[in-house]
Amino acid sequence: KKLNISHSQITRLYSRFHSLDKGENGALSREDFQRIPELAINPLGDRIINAFFPEGEDQVNFRGFMRTLAHFRPVEDNEKNKDLTSGEPLNSRTNKLHFAFQLYDLDRDDKISRDELLQVLRMMVGVNISDEQLGSIADRTIQEADTNGDMCISFSEFTKVLEKVDVEQKMSIRFLH
Amino acid sequence: MPMKAVFQRRLQKLKHIRGVQQPVFSLICMLLGISFTVWFTLLLVFIIVPAIFGVSFGIRRVYMKSLIKLFEWATLRMERGAKEKNQHLYKPYSNGIIAKEPVSLEQEIQEMRRGSAEPEFDMSDIFYFCRRGVESIVDDEVTKRFTAEELESWNLLTRSNYNFHHISTRLTALWGMGVLIRYGFLLPLRVTLAFTGVGLLVVLTSIVGLFPNGRMKNYLSDKVHLMCYRICVRALTAIITYHDSENKPKNGGICVANHTSPIDVIILASDGCYAMVGQVHGGLMGVIQRAMVKACPHIWFERSEVKDRHLVAKRLSDHVADESKLPILIFPEGTCINNTSVMMFKKGSFEIGCTVYPVAIKYDPRFGDAFWNSSKFGMVNYLLHMMSSWAIVCSVWYLPPMSRMEGEDAVQFANRVKAAIARKGGLADLLWDGGLKRGKVKEVFKEEQQKLYSKVLVGSSEDRSRS
B283: alpha, beta or left? (left if phi > 0; alpha if psi -120 to 50): left
Write out chain A residues lying below 8 Å of B133, CB-based: 39, 42, 44-45, 48
Report the pLDDT averaged over residues A92-100.
88
Q: Return the pLDDT at A77.
A: 57
Write out chain B residues lying below 8 Å of A165, CB-based: 112, 124, 127
**Of B120, B126, B140, which has the smallest distance from its Cβ to A38's Cβ?**
B140
Q: How many CB pairs under 8 A join A and B?
A: 159
Q: Return the pLDDT at B185.
A: 82
Tell me, yes or no, if A171 comes closer than 8 A to chain B by beta carbon.
yes
- The amino acid present at B254, given as its one-letter code, is I
Nearest to A103 by CA among A171, A38, A165: A171
Q: Return the pLDDT at A79.
A: 54
DSSP assignment of B210-277: TSPSSHHHHHHHHHHHHHHHHHHHHHTTEEEEEE-GGG---TT-EEEE--S-THHHHHHHTTS--EEE
Q: Return the pLDDT at B361.
A: 93
Regarding an ipTM greater than 0.95, the answer is no
Q: Return the pLDDT at B463.
A: 40
Q: Min CA distance, A86 vs chain B (Å)?
A: 26
Q: Min CA distance, A156 vs chain B (Å)?
A: 14
Q: Min CA distance, A162 vs chain B (Å)?
A: 7
Mind listing the pLDDT tens digit for each residue in A107-132? 888 888 888 888 998 888 888 888 88
Q: Return the pLDDT at B398.
A: 94
CB contact under 8 A, A171 and B131: yes
Q: Min CA distance, B153 vs chain A (Å)?
A: 16
The residue among A47, A176, A177 with the most chain B CBs within 10 A of its CB, best to mutate, is A176
Q: How much of chain A, in percent, has pLDDT values that exceed 70?
A: 91
Three-state SS across B331-376? Answer: CCCCCCCCCCEECCCCHHHHCCCCCEEEEEEEEECCCCCCCCCCCC
SS3 at position B5: helix
Q: Return the pLDDT at B95.
A: 59
Q: Return the pLDDT at B91.
A: 64
Q: In a structure prediction context, what are the per-residue pLDDT tens digits for chain B, which is 467 residues long?
A: 677 888 788 777 766 666 556 788 888 888 888 888 887 787 777 777 777 777 777 788 888 888 888 888 887 877 777 777 766 666 665 556 677 776 677 677 666 666 555 557 778 888 888 988 998 898 888 888 887 777 666 667 766 666 655 667 777 888 888 888 888 888 888 888 888 888 888 888 888 888 888 888 888 888 888 888 888 888 888 888 999 989 888 888 899 999 998 889 999 998 888 998 888 887 778 888 888 888 888 888 888 877 788 888 888 888 888 888 889 999 988 888 888 888 888 888 888 888 899 999 999 888 878 888 877 788 888 888 888 888 888 999 999 999 988 888 888 999 999 999 999 988 888 888 888 888 888 888 888 888 888 887 776 434 434 44
pTM above 0.90, yes or no: no
Write out chain B residues lying below 8 Å of A127, CB-based: 447, 450
Write out chain B residues lying below 8 Å of A45, CB-based: 133, 446
CA dihedral of residues B338, B344, B349, B350 (deg, nearest 10): 140
Tell me, yes or no, if A10 comes closer than 8 A to chain B by beta carbon.
no
Nearest to B458 by CA among A27, A137, A26: A137
CB contact under 8 A, B88 and A7: yes
Q: Min CA distance, B45 vs chain A (Å)?
A: 46
The residue among A22, A125, A136 with the most chain B CBs within 10 A of its CB, best to mutate, is A125
Mind listing the pLDDT tens digit for each residue in A20-36? 888 888 899 998 898 89
Write out chain A residues lying below 8 Å of B457, CB-based: 125, 129, 137
Tell me, yes or no, if A100 comes closer than 8 A to chain B by beta carbon.
yes
Q: Residues 30 to 89 of A: which have CB under 8 A from any B CB? A: 33-45, 48, 69, 72
